[in-house]
Every structure is written in C-alpha cells, then in structure tokens.
Amino acid sequence: MKNSAQSIYYYGYYDDGNTVRKQKHRYDDYEFKPERPKARPRDVRALKAQGLSVAYGFFLVTMAMVLLVGCIIYLNLRNDITAQQKTIVGMEKELGALRQKNDEELDRIEGAIDMEKIKQTAMDELGMTYPESGQVVDIEGGAGDYVRQYQDIPEEVRKK
C-alpha cells in the first residue's frame, strides 16, 4: 500500500501523496563544492627569477646541435638514395632499349637466313646427302646443349 506521507521516487519524479508531481534530480541532495586549487611547491615568479643553470643551458645547446647534425646527415643520406634511384631508373630504361634493339637485330638476322638455299648449296655444290640408317649414333651428353667429340666413337657404341 501507498502511504501519502512517504515520498516514492521513480524515473526522475517523485510522488508525494496527492500533490502534483515535481521533477527531482538525483543529485539534488548533494551540495556542490568547487575544487580548491592545488598548492604549488614554489611560486611561478620565484622560478622565473631563478633562471636556467649554466649546466642545463649547455646541455640544451649541445642536444640542439646533436639534433641539427643528425637531421643534416639524414637529409644527405636521403638525397643520395634519391639520386641512386634516379640513376637506376635511367639504367633500366637504357637496358630496355638495348634489349629491344637486340631483339630487332636478331629478328632481322633470322629473317635473312634462307634454309632452302642452304640445303640446295650443301647438296649441289658440296655433295652432301642425308644420312643412311647406320650412320647416326646417339650419344648421351651432359647438361649442356651440345657434345664435343675429342676422339673417334668406339665400335661397340656404334653397333648399338
């Protein structure tokens, strides 16, 4: 049961019997107390009057110079890298042009060779003929594309 003398709080309103509902904030019961400024160990004017010590000033100047020298060295190295990259790009362009020129020259040379003319010259002028069945000997070679013959082929290999 609801007691009219007792206030009931719900959803930001409170009910006090048959009176009109009034909005109540959750923090109305608390007093706001502003924070006090924190006490400083020294006064700002005292710090300004003291100034920088000679050792601290020397340290700051030394660190600034080290930083400046480091930046200069970094910029020089970065400049060298950029110049080398430009050189590499130029050399790659030159390599591409040389490869294209080489391919064109190879195509021109291969196009100029007439295999029929070579065959006719070999058969008519030099007396060459196609090999007969026993004249071709297969020899196993190494990993290269060709075999060099330093001596005559043995008879047992020829008869296989």
pLDDT at 140 over 80: no
Q: What is the pLDDT of residue 37?
A: 66
Tell the residue number behind the tokens 């020829």, with chain if given: 158
Write out the H or E segment, with its range, that includes residue 124.
helix 115-124
Q: What is the pLDDT of residue 2?
A: 47
pLDDT in tens, 18-47: 555 555 555 555 566 667 666 565 555 555
Q: Estimate the share of the chain in helix, then strand, then coil, as percent rounded to the nearest 5.
A: 50, 5, 45
Sketch the domain layout of the chain as residue ranges: 8-126
Q: What is the pLDDT of residue 71?
A: 97
Q: What is the pTM of this model?
A: 0.41
